[in-house]
């Protein structure tokens, strides 16, 4: 998972980051120090001690005073700041972007990808943080299995699958995963993805909003029986959501939902046959198929144990 610095950098992929469990060998740190000179972040190869970083601290030198500013406001990242994006952060993003052409030129593809994820996606990372706050607020009073935790698991599943699918737009995938239940008809009475659009409008381009909404609309099981989403991002988010209806968590969610709606145990068990046991054969991506096989086996083992313990009526 990402480890966000106050400015939106992702420490988890940063080659300087050495906090547990992200320790680096002396050789790796030296390579990073050489890389830092190559891309112009330093004017000489600094020592391993100097290049190693254990994350932002208020006492660290920060050109934009981001850490101090967030500490003063009592927030973790700029995403929670009402003044975001302020002049200082606009400058920070512009300066970061100015390094990108040089990095592209002198780095290997692998080095560039690491730098991109660690530093050049600050704004996208902060946008994702804002989306998480938005859905947490939206689902504040939901406890029946369609809640913030479900959404975060779907996002985790989606990003895990996205790593193995080339050509996938990670930002579209992540935002669609986070907003996939924002207008769920079981929870909200909205039209035309109103809740998702309320968050997205003004934050990203109109054509990307349409792509995200199309992706969200292809996820629902009941509304898309037998239909394969047209886009890769849609197929990934659909798989991610369906995986969360399987395995141990799928069982827990089924009974939580049944309890919330006053359903007897037997009725919840029927839901396994109507939906959960069918999901294994409806996965789109290879990664999801593998994950689904394990979760399906757990569902079957649970049902056979339950069958033994229940009584015939
Ligand atoms: Ni869902």
Residue 239 and residue 293 in contact, taking contact as beta carbons nearer than 8 Å? no
- The domain made up of 127-309 has a fold known as Hypothetical protein af1432 (1.10.3210)
Cα(3) to centroid(ligand 1), Å? 24
Dig out the tokens for 35 from the structure: 């890389």
Q: By C-alpha distance, which of 80, 73, 60, 107 is closest to 4? A: 80
Q: What are phi and psi of 201, to 5 degrees?
A: -60, 130
Cα(179) to centroid(ligand 1), Å? 9
Cα(262) to centroid(ligand 1), Å? 21
Cα(11) to centroid(ligand 1), Å? 29
Strands (E), the chain: none
CA distance 190 to 201: 16
Cα(210) to centroid(ligand 1), Å? 19
Cα–Cα–Cα angle for 105, 110, 114, nearest 5°? Answer: 90
Look up residue 118 and give its DSSP letter: I
Cα(204) to centroid(ligand 1), Å? 23
Using the predicted structure, report yes or no on whether residue 222 has a pLDDT greater than 80. no
Cα(8) to centroid(ligand 1), Å? 27
Chain-centre distance for alpha carbon 238: 14
Cα(18) to centroid(ligand 1), Å? 35
Cα(7) to centroid(ligand 1), Å? 30
Within 10 Å of residue 8's Cβ, how many Cβ atoms? 25
- What b/e readout covers 257-271, taking b as 16+ CB neighbours within 10 angstroms? bbeeeebeeeebbeb
Domain ranges of the chain: 11-120, 127-309
Average pLDDT, the chain: 93
pTM (predicted TM-score)? 0.90
Q: Is the sign of the CA dihedral 285, 291, 297, 303 positive or negative?
A: negative
Q: What confidence category does residue 70 fall into, taking pLDDT thresholds of 50, 70 and 90?
A: very high
> At which residue do the structure tokens 């969200």 appear?
216
Which residues make up the environment of ion ligand 1, defined by Cβ < 5 Å? 181, 241
pLDDT value at residue 143: 58
Cα(302) to centroid(ligand 1), Å? 22
CA distance 189 to 186: 8
Q: pLDDT, tens digit, for every residue of 148-164?
A: 999 999 999 999 999 99
Q: By C-alpha distance, which of 301, 149, 172 is closest to 233? A: 172
Cα(123) to centroid(ligand 1), Å? 26
Cα(146) to centroid(ligand 1), Å? 6
Using the predicted structure, report yes or no on whether residue 290 has a pLDDT greater than 70. yes
Cα(208) to centroid(ligand 1), Å? 21
Dig out the tokens for 173 from the structure: 């995938």
Cα(216) to centroid(ligand 1), Å? 10
Q: Which residues contact 92 (CB under 8 A, 6 or more apart)?
A: 7, 63, 64, 66, 122
Lowest mean pLDDT among 55-59, 89-93, 117-121: 55-59
Cα(222) to centroid(ligand 1), Å? 11
Using the predicted structure, report yes or no on whether residue 144 has a pLDDT greater than 70. no
CA distance 96 to 85: 15
Cα(205) to centroid(ligand 1), Å? 25
Cα(241) to centroid(ligand 1), Å? 5
Cα(67) to centroid(ligand 1), Å? 35
Cα(295) to centroid(ligand 1), Å? 17
CA distance 278 to 307: 19
Chain-centre distance for alpha carbon 189: 26
Q: By C-alpha distance, which of 54, 52, 64 is closest to 95? A: 64
Look up residue 227 and give its DSSP letter: P
Q: pLDDT, tens digit, for every residue of 19-51?
A: 999 999 999 999 999 999 999 989 999 999 999
pLDDT value at residue 182: 95
């Amino acid at each position: 998972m990402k480890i966000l610095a106050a400015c939106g950098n992702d420490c988890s992929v940063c080659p300087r980051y050495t906090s547990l469990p992200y320790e680096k060998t002396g050789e790796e740190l030296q390579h990073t120090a050489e890389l830092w000179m190559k891309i112009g972040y330093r004017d000489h190869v600094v020592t391993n001690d100097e290049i190693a970083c254990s994350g932002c601290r208020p006492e660290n030198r920060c050109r934009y005073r981001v850490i101090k500013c967030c500490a003063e406001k009592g927030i973790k990242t700029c995403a929670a700041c009402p003044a975001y994006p302020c002049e200082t952060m606009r400058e920070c993003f512009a300066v970061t972007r100015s390094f990108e052409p040089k990095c592209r030129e002198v780095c290997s593809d692998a080095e560039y990808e690491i730098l991109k994820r660690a530093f050049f996606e600050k704004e996208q990372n902060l946008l994702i943080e804002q989306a998480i706050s938005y859905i947490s607020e939206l689902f504040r009073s939901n406890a029946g299995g369609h809640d913030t935790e479900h959404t975060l698991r779907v996002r985790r599943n989606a990003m895990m699958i996205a790593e193995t699918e080339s050509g996938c737009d990670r930002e579209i995938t992540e935002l669609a995963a986070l907003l996939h239940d924002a207008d769920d008809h079981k929870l909200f009475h909205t039209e035309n993805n109103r809740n998702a659009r309320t968050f997205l409008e003004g934050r990203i381009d109109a054509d990307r909003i349409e792509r995200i909404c199309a992706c969200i609309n292809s996820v629902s099981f009941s509304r898309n029986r037998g239909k394969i989403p047209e886009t890769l991002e849609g197929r990934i988010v659909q798989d991610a959501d369906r995986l969360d209806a399987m395995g141990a968590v799928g069982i827990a969610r089924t009974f939580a939902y049944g309890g919330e709606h006053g359903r007897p145990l037997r009725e919840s068990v029927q839901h396994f046959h109507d939906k959960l046991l069918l999901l294994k054969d409806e996965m789109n991506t290879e990664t999801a198929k593998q994950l689904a096989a394990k979760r399906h086996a757990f569902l079957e083992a649970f049902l056979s144990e339950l069958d033994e313990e229940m009584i015939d009526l």
